[in-house]
Structure 1
Amino acid sequence: MSSSPVLNVGFSNVVFASKILAILQAESAGAKRLRTDAKEGARLIDATGGRKTRSILVLDSGHIVLSAIRPESLTKRLENGDNSFGKEEEDEEV
């Protein structure tokens, strides 16, 4: 198994960091369109664990990943190489 960096997007779900093209605010109009299009095209991956969607990740394969973690928190995790689990409950609170 390779040691490619992964990003914890919440609830023990991970995405290979090298596959991420963008991390978007879930409430933006463009992100909402991407979400709708991905759902219609069967390219939507829901990793929210039933929580409110706070960010949308665009992958190089065209898939869209929904996360309950704020974009700022995901970006910090990417920058710091933080692959730890169990922080999503903290990040999800407003």
Structure 2
Amino acid sequence: MNRVIAIVSPGSAPTRRLIQESRSRNAVIDMTNGRRTKAVLITDSGHVVLAPINPETVAGRVSSSKGNRADGEYED
């Protein structure tokens, strides 16, 4: 998950524009399976990932997968 640049909610106009522009470039990865998009992940490769879970949940899962502890230090 070190390729994720930003995790945002889909409600703002700039985010919606980014999704539409990415759709026109065929750079959208839709993981919602027909559910409502709650989080938008932006990657360093320019892909936009649509997720059906809250941005806070995604951020927590990303940080736990990187091995972060609560104090911000990495585990060995």
Please report the TM-score for the alignment, with normalisation by the length of structure 1: 0.66
Larger radius of gyration: 2
The reply on whether 1:54 has 2:33 as its aligned counterpart is no
The equivalent of 1:38 in structure 2 is 22
Task: Detail structure 1 runs of 4+ shifted over 4 Å in the superposition.
Answer: none
Please report the TM-score for the alignment, with normalisation by the length of structure 2: 0.80
The reply on whether 1:26 has 2:10 as its aligned counterpart is yes
Identity fraction in percent = 35
Mapped partners of 2:4, 2:13: distance in 1:
20
- AA in 2 matched with 1:64: V
Mapped partners of 2:38, 2:10: distance in 1:
5
The equivalent of 2:50 in structure 1 is 66
Number of equivalenced pairs: 66
Shift of 1:47: 0.6
The equivalent of 1:13 in structure 2 is none
Secondary structure of residue in 2 paired with 1:18: coil
Unaligned runs of 5+ in 1: 1-16, 83-94
Unaligned runs of 5+ in 2: 67-76
The equivalent of 1:78 in structure 2 is 62
Greater strand share, 1 or 2? 1
Please tell me the root mean square deviation across aligned C-alpha atoms, in Å: 1.3
